């Protein structure tokens, strides 16, 4: 049996207290709010956070920090992330060297950008700091519904000790030495989840997001436009789409410094004995309208023999836009003439390989360029118009990052 202090009487702290009490450990729960402790002692339930979950009398409740942490084998930091540093500072007078502290909150400190284990180490440099994280919900853990978590600790001995401390038949614990990875994953997934939820609520999300990320949705659209524009039936499987998965923040930052912004560009034009059609992440000059198409808006640009450049601009996603398009398609289905054609097959579809290119290399390279920029170990070029095969030949097996540049 181990003696454990849970610092924080919220839903997650109480859920873990129940797990540890079930495992036979001596558990003390501390809160900085005397009123919270008073209600827990009277009602044996946190009706706001965990309604219906009874806190047994074997779990000690206190608002006295010195009593809570005295002679404890493990201290579990379950306070909300903005209060982690202040709570750790309060602990400093009472803990011994080598004290095991397990942070179970998720977050990154706003000013320092430190993870919470780093924040605790700042305040308690002699402590052994570990983390516990996972795809868990306090209301489920408190009711012993099976779930899993991971313990992260620099020392394998500490990780194994904590694994045995927490694990039971409903609470599966794995161990890892990647403390930073666990904390970043636990923190950033919440940001991603919130952003995804907002996008879904606004109607911006594809049922299969890969259709957007990999350029498949854009390829479908350019296929339809090319067929009607050039009156040739295009085999969709011949269209090359590379998408935006390989665009990194580093390249986005360099593009911005050079006056460009990445956009997913689908293009089609006549070439040789067929059509050039492709989809790719492309740098567009910030002065162009296309570079400033944001959010759910799309743009279609047509170069015409008689009236030159025409641009159609408007929403391409959203609840009402999608509903309107669906209703419009349904209404048109009975008009057979709208869907029939006598186009001949386009025998050859090629990627459009002649372009200006953005090149990021780890050393200077001998290529024809309009713009050059270097930072640290990166060498950035905006090339003159060149065939992609010729560019790769000039790079001479240099492992360079290459994107198209519009214009």
Cβ atoms within 10 Å of 322's Cβ, excluding its own: 15
Beta bridge partners of 375: 378
3-state class (DSSP) for residue 120: helix
Cα(52)–Cα(345) distance, rounded to whole angstroms?
A: 68
Backbone angles phi, psi at 213, to 5 degrees: -60, -40
* Pair 280, 219: CB distance under 8 Å: no
DSSP 3-state of 387: strand
The answer to whether 189 is a known catalytic residue is yes
Nearest CA to 277 out of 230, 213, 314 is that of 230
Q: Which residues contact 198 (CB under 8 A, 6 or more apart)?
A: none
> Residue 95 gets which letter from DSSP?
P
Cβ proximity of 286 and 261 under 8 Å: yes
Residue of 41, 189, 257, 332 marked catalytic: 189
Say what angle helices 179-201 and 116-123 make with each other, to 10 degrees: 130
Answer for the pair 298, 261: CB distance below 8 angstroms, yes or no: no
Tell me the C-alpha distance between 273 and 297, whole Å.
34
Residues labelled catalytic: 189
């Amino acid at each position: 049996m181990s003696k454990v202090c849970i610092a924080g009487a919220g839903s997650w702290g109480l859920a873990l207290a129940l797990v540890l009490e079930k495992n036979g450990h001596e558990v003390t729960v501390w809160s900085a709010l005397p009123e919270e402790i008073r209600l827990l002692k009277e009602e044996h339930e946190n009706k706001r956070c965990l309604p219906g979950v009874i806190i047994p009398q074997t779990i000690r409740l206190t608002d006295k920090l010195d009593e809570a942490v005295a002679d404890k084998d493990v201290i579990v930091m379950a306070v909300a992330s903005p209060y982690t540093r202040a709570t750790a500072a309060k602990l400093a007078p009472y803990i011994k060297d080598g004290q095991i502290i397990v942070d179970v909150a998720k977050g990154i400190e706003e000013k320092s950008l430190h993870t919470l284990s780093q924040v605790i180490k700042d305040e308690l440099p002699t402590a052994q700091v570990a983390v516990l994280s996972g795809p868990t919900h306090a209301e489920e853990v408190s009711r012993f519904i099976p779930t899993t978590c991971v313990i992260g600790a620099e020392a394998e001995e500490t990780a194994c000790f904590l694994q045995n401390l927490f694990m039971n038949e409903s609470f599966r614990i794995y161990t890892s030495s990647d403390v930073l990875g666990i904390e970043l994953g636990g923190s950033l997934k919440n940001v991603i989840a919130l952003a995804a939820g907002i996008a879904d609520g606004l109607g911006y999300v594809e049922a299969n997001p890969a259709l957007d990320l990999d350029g498949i949705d854009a390829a479908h659209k350019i296929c339809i436009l090319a067929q009607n524009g050039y009156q040739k039936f295009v085999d969709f499987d011949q269209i090359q789409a590379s998408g935006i998965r390989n665009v990194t923040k580093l390249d986005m930052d360099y593009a911005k410094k050079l006056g460009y912004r990445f956009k997913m560009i689908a293009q089609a034009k006549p070439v040789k004995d067929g059509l050039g059609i492709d989809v790719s992440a492309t740098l567009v000059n910030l002065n162009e309208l296309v570079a400033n198409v944001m959010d759910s808006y799309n743009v279609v640009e047509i170069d015409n023999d008689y009236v030159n450049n025409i641009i159609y601009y408007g929403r391409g996603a959203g609840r009402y836009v999608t509903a309107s398009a669906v209703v419009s398609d349904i209404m048109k289905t009975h008009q057979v003439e709208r869907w029939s054609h006598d186009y001949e097959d386009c025998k050859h579809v090629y990627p459009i390989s002649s372009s200006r290119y953005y090149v990021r290399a780890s050393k200077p390279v001998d290529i024809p360029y309009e713009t050059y920029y270097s930072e640290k170990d990166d060498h950035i070029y905006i090339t003159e118009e060149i065939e992609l095969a010729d560019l790769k030949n000039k790079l001479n097996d240099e492992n360079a990052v290459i994107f198209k540049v519009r214009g």
